[in-house]
Chain A
């Protein structure tokens, strides 16, 4: 997808502490931005869920609740899409090594479904190393086209 950066509106650009309270606050801000951008209820749920999973990953698995590390959230968008960037300051991870949560042997695992759900709910998901360290995740959701 070719994003029209020049016409984008910025909704959120904020640093968060590595706490579960930050996850709730970020989810609320992202939902507010998506609502303001005109997404329907079904898409709002998907965006909120994906963003929450992503924030949890950043706080819990990335920064490991470290009080000296923050999570950077940016939300922007244009008429037909919303873009969410979430960057932690953790040690990073290799996404290719995540087990498939749908494999028979993994179905009863307690964890490991977060990234899978993020991919299921968003149109584009890009996970890459952040600079100078950590992980940055870019999520894009396009508005559903009415028939």
Chain B
């Protein structure tokens, strides 16, 4: 199963709900295309909800990093919510936990946007 994506607006934050596997190929490009569309609409406060993401490979990690740098370079904020233990572990061992703001609760994540 590759990734499925749904977009919703909560206040001024765009939440992208992802589900499935973010891997090289379709999974990575689905996320990239959705992000491009959100930014083109002028939204730059973005929360990636990964609570239904079961698996991310190194390409998927690369897409998360690209998304982060793209949004940050446009003056926006991109944060992560709902990571399972394995995805958290991946971010820990790649030291990316120090780069991303990561939340367990969507309500807490929402309050963190400035």
Chain A residues bordering chain B, tally (CB within 8 A): 20
A-side interface mostly:
helix
Complex interface bits, B37-52 against A, C-beta within 8 A gives 1, otherwise 0? 0000000000000000
Are B24 and A113 in contact (CB-based, < 8 A)?
A: no
Are A56 and B24 in contact (CB-based, < 8 A)?
A: yes
Closest B residue to A111 by beta carbon equals B62
Are A107 and B58 in contact (CB-based, < 8 A)?
A: no
Query: What residues of chain A lie closer than 8 Å to B69, measured between beta carbons?
Result: 108
B10 contacts partner chain A, Cβ-Cβ < 8 Å? no
B9 contacts partner chain A, Cβ-Cβ < 8 Å? no
Complex interface bits, A35-54 against B, C-beta within 8 A gives 1, otherwise 0? 00000000001000100110
Closest A residue to B23 by beta carbon equals A52
A110 contacts partner chain B, Cβ-Cβ < 8 Å? yes
Closest A residue to B26 by beta carbon equals A20
Query: What residues of chain B lie closer than 8 Å to A53, measured between beta carbons?
Result: 57-58
A120 contacts partner chain B, Cβ-Cβ < 8 Å? yes
A67 contacts partner chain B, Cβ-Cβ < 8 Å? no
Contact partner of B25 (CB less than 8 A), chosen from A20, A108, A114, A116, is A20
Query: What residues of chain B lie closer than 8 Å to A45, measured between beta carbons?
Result: 86
Given A107-B99, A108-B65, A110-B65, verify A102-B23 contact (CB < 8 Å): no
Query: What residues of chain A lie closer than 8 Å to B57, measured between beta carbons?
Result: 49, 52-53, 56
Are B99 and A114 in contact (CB-based, < 8 A)?
A: no
Interface positions, chain B 54-98, Cβ under 8 Å from A, are 55, 57-59, 61-63, 65-66, 68-69, 86, 90, 93-96, 98
CB distance from A63 to the nearest CB of B (A): 14
Complex interface bits, A113-124 against B, C-beta within 8 A gives 1, otherwise 0? 110110010000
Are A109 and B24 in contact (CB-based, < 8 A)?
A: no
Closest A residue to B90 by beta carbon equals A117
Query: What residues of chain B lie closer than 8 Å to A60, measured between beta carbons?
Result: 24
Query: What residues of chain A lie closer than 8 Å to B93, measured between beta carbons?
Result: 117, 120
Are A113 and B25 in contact (CB-based, < 8 A)?
A: no
7 pairs, A vs B, C-beta closer than 8 Å? A45-B86, A56-B57, A56-B58, A111-B58, A114-B58, A116-B94, A117-B94
| Interface of B toward A, CB cutoff 8 Å | 23-25, 55, 57-59, 61-63, 65-66, 68-69, 86, 90, 93-96, 98-99
